[in-house]
Chains A and B, each alone.
Chain A
């Protein structure tokens, strides 16, 4: 009997590896399934980028419990810095991604340190992070040496991988896919490590965690900086793909979309938010194409209704639903991250 049980465990374990493996294989061949159509690749790349932000947001929001609405700020910062370096200094986008990531993490530190030091939490933290989006937008609208009110255009190149500029969207698709994969790995490792446990304890009860000796400031700040780094990289990839940058890329809609998808997907759940973002963002784009030009704005209404339904009937998000489903088909021994 013991031997049989071991066998079952092994089989289930195997399947657990199989699921991400299949997903990865599908993602690898997706451009070919889409017939290398530039438009569909453009949309799927956008979905990958936004999903990366949602996954990274788990660090500060899902595990750390901070309702951070600064995604638009970090995304925009990445876009402007990467774009600026490409346009004015001819510096490769790859280097731009790193530089903008570091810059965003720096801004996150400057904002996060006093916020956490003086214990700004909950709605107050949410508001101050949302204000960051608007403040940065105004700064770059006035700072005409870098951005200003005119769009800046990145030189066109049919295919220049070293400069990170390509007329073929498949290039950006794979870059974004790599970023999403890396984000998954980082979030998974953080969650499995000490930092993840500390963050969860902060989310559940900040005072108790502090009393037990968790350096809450340090771990919140660490989560915030990793997340802002990744959000900035999505901005850099985005700007290189669309070929221009402008301060309107500091977009509070990105902040709201990120938080909504992460919460509706299941706060702190590993698979829920990314699965939901892929589904809902695809639905949103499909609706935009099919009815967006017929009845202007209808797609946003339908998108909103779907979200309301999820919140009404699954207030914990779709995460638990995925857990029970995967247990049924033996994909999982236990929920990867319990609430």
Chain B
């Protein structure tokens, strides 16, 4: 019987619902109006920097190395007093996992931009993943500093993106220039190159870079072989290479496939004078060497960072990285080194140029384009020693280097004027 008194008529119910709706809408309105808007002229206590990296999944090796590097550098910047021109504001790092997928990177960017309110976003190592983040950052004017290499990242009309490392096509061209020089030194010429690459965006673009450079030099590849990124059996690929009978194999792998490739070359006894990688991932980095054993011996790859760069700061940084994490920093860590230091310089400059709104996306971009770094930690960790952005947002002085595995260790062999030792050629 109790229910009788509690019964509602249809009209009453509608009135209640309508009232709820109105209260909710008005409540939110009032809430947003009275919410303290972001203090613009007030003292800036921290600069929020987001980092999206593949921390789990197929590319976790790179993502975790990048994360280590970022934590190391941010700690150093903060312990040296933060950003001086912003009153000693500290950098606060927000790390998110892209799970090695494009939608994971997208979700991570959504969170960093909309919840954590980052001022700058660094990521996402994989170019295709970086592209999915730009939809999120562009409307909010969040500056993206890409550590991904595909050429057209900076050429799709997005305004708030810069990239310091050399583009994928530069990596491709560098590996060709290097190989041509190595053959020349031995009195030989490349005649029958084969290009092998994985089928992702980065693989295609880097292989295009190799192809274009070879074509410009008047060399025609005898075969171009594409394999799926998640390949588990390399033997058909090796067999096809054998049939093409090449004098050199240019290969663009990621991580797991580079290990498979090296092992298959060894176990199937593929005879080829030289194997030159391109693209900074796999083959000649410490993780691949550890995973593939001596199968990677004498293989080379191009990198966006030179861990053996003989500058004072770089030597000391590499040593610190090694003692803390127990491995040599290469591609993923190196890009983060100079990207974060360049960001630091840009923040200092923005604080001087635009004391009112130094963290505004437009102002920060202006400061970035204003920079011409020839000294300091950023320049001392960059292969060419100079960082100056061109109109597209890419470094005009971009340069890639070549590491070769010699005696189970990576050594710098190109450019020759900086090399630690001569490249070993040909393969036995």
Residues of A participating in the B interface, judged by any CB pair closer than 8 Å: 4, 7-8, 10-12, 14-15, 17-18, 21-22, 25, 28-29, 32-33, 35, 37-40, 42, 141, 148-151, 153, 156, 158, 167, 242-244, 246, 248, 289, 292-293, 296-297, 330
Bound-state Cα–Cα, A33 to B31, Å: 10
Bound-state Cα–Cα, A170 to B152, Å: 30
Chain A contacts for B7, CB-based, 8 A: 7, 10-11, 14-15
- Select one of B20, B97, B101, B229 contacting A292, CB under 8 A: B97
| Chain B residue with the shortest CB-CB distance to A148 | B199
Consensus secondary structure, chain B interface: helix
Given A11-B7, A15-B8, A330-B3, the answer on whether A153 and B25 have CB atoms closer than 8 Å is: no
**Top 7 nearest A-B pairs by Cβ distance?**
A11-B7, A39-B114, A149-B199, A32-B28, A29-B24, A39-B110, A38-B114
| Chain B residue with the shortest CB-CB distance to A7 | B4
Bound-state Cα–Cα, A32 to B110, Å: 18
User: Are the CB atoms of A246 and B13 closer together than 8 Å?
Assistant: no
Q: How far is the CB of A281 from chain B (nearest CB, A)?
A: 14
Bound-state Cα–Cα, A336 to B111, Å: 39
- Select one of B17, B24, B135 contacting A243, CB under 8 A: B135
Show 6 A/B contacts (Cβ-Cβ < 8 Å), sorted by A: A25-B20, A39-B113, A150-B199, A150-B200, A150-B201, A158-B139
User: Are the CB atoms of A4 and B1 closer together than 8 Å?
Assistant: yes
**For the complex, is B167 an interface residue (Cβ under 8 Å from A)?**
no
User: Are the CB atoms of B131 and A244 closer together than 8 Å?
Assistant: yes
- Select one of B13, B115, B138 contacting A17, CB under 8 A: B13
| Chain A residue with the shortest CB-CB distance to B138 | A156
Chain B residues numbered 3-20 whose CB sits less than 8 Å from any CB in chain A: 3-4, 6-10, 13, 17, 20
- Select one of A37, A244, A292 contacting B132, CB under 8 A: A244
Q: How far is the CB of B214 from chain A (nearest CB, A)?
A: 22
Q: How far is the CB of A162 from chain B (nearest CB, A)?
A: 19
Q: Report the interface size class on chain B.
A: 35 or more
Chain B contacts for A244, CB-based, 8 A: 102, 131-132
B27-58 interface bits toward A, Cβ cutoff 8 Å, 1 = contact, 0 = none: 01001100000000000000000000001100
| Chain A residue with the shortest CB-CB distance to B1 | A4
**For the complex, is B21 an interface residue (Cβ under 8 Å from A)?**
yes
User: Are the CB atoms of A37 and B128 closer together than 8 Å?
Assistant: no
- Select one of A21, A40, A246 contacting B102, CB under 8 A: A246
User: Are the CB atoms of A39 and B28 closer together than 8 Å?
Assistant: no
Bound-state Cα–Cα, A248 to B104, Å: 12
Given A149-B228, A153-B131, the answer on whether A25 and B17 have CB atoms closer than 8 Å is: yes
**For the complex, is B287 an interface residue (Cβ under 8 Å from A)?**
no
**For the complex, is B103 an interface residue (Cβ under 8 Å from A)?**
yes
Chain A contacts for B106, CB-based, 8 A: 242-243
User: Are the CB atoms of B132 and A242 closer together than 8 Å?
Assistant: yes
**For the complex, is B95 an interface residue (Cβ under 8 Å from A)?**
yes
Given A21-B17, A330-B3, the answer on whether A297 and B101 have CB atoms closer than 8 Å is: no
User: Are the CB atoms of A25 and B8 closer together than 8 Å?
Assistant: no
Q: How far is the CB of A233 from chain B (nearest CB, A)?
A: 18
User: Are the CB atoms of A293 and B97 closer together than 8 Å?
Assistant: yes
Q: How far is the CB of A30 from chain B (nearest CB, A)?
A: 9
**For the complex, is B225 an interface residue (Cβ under 8 Å from A)?**
no
Chain B contacts for A17, CB-based, 8 A: 10, 13
User: Are the CB atoms of B3 and A18 closer together than 8 Å?
Assistant: no
User: Are the CB atoms of B101 and A248 closer together than 8 Å?
Assistant: yes
Chain A contacts for B56, CB-based, 8 A: 296-297
Q: How far is the CB of A294 from chain B (nearest CB, A)?
A: 10
User: Are the CB atoms of B228 and A293 closer together than 8 Å?
Assistant: no
Bound-state Cα–Cα, A292 to B31, Å: 30
B74-91 interface bits toward A, Cβ cutoff 8 Å, 1 = contact, 0 = none: 000000000000000000
Chain B contacts for A150, CB-based, 8 A: 128, 199-201, 204
Bound-state Cα–Cα, A287 to B106, Å: 18
Q: How far is the CB of B363 from chain A (nearest CB, A)?
A: 23
Bound-state Cα–Cα, A296 to B63, Å: 13
User: Are the CB atoms of B201 and A39 closer together than 8 Å?
Assistant: no
User: Are the CB atoms of A33 and B8 closer together than 8 Å?
Assistant: no
Q: How far is the CB of B17 from chain A (nearest CB, A)?
A: 5
**For the complex, is B65 an interface residue (Cβ under 8 Å from A)?**
no
Chain B contacts for A158, CB-based, 8 A: 139
Given A4-B1, A29-B25, A244-B102, the answer on whether A151 and B229 have CB atoms closer than 8 Å is: no
Q: How far is the CB of A46 from chain B (nearest CB, A)?
A: 9
Chain B contacts for A18, CB-based, 8 A: 8, 13
User: Are the CB atoms of A42 and B110 closer together than 8 Å?
Assistant: yes
**For the complex, is B107 an interface residue (Cβ under 8 Å from A)?**
yes
Chain A contacts for B136, CB-based, 8 A: 38
| Chain A residue with the shortest CB-CB distance to B110 | A39
Bound-state Cα–Cα, A148 to B200, Å: 9
Chain B residues numbered 181-212 whose CB sits less than 8 Å from any CB in chain A: 199-201, 204
Bound-state Cα–Cα, A323 to B32, Å: 40
User: Are the CB atoms of B31 and A11 closer together than 8 Å?
Assistant: no
- Select one of B13, B31, B95 contacting A35, CB under 8 A: B31
User: Are the CB atoms of A35 and B32 closer together than 8 Å?
Assistant: yes
Bound-state Cα–Cα, A12 to B3, Å: 8
Chain A contacts for B55, CB-based, 8 A: 293, 296
| Chain A residue with the shortest CB-CB distance to B139 | A167
Chain B contacts for A153, CB-based, 8 A: 131
Q: How far is the CB of A320 from chain B (nearest CB, A)?
A: 23
Chain B contacts for A289, CB-based, 8 A: 111, 115
Bound-state Cα–Cα, A246 to B103, Å: 10
| Chain B residue with the shortest CB-CB distance to A11 | B7
Q: How far is the CB of A135 from chain B (nearest CB, A)?
A: 15
Chain A contacts for B114, CB-based, 8 A: 37-40
**For the complex, is B96 an interface residue (Cβ under 8 Å from A)?**
yes
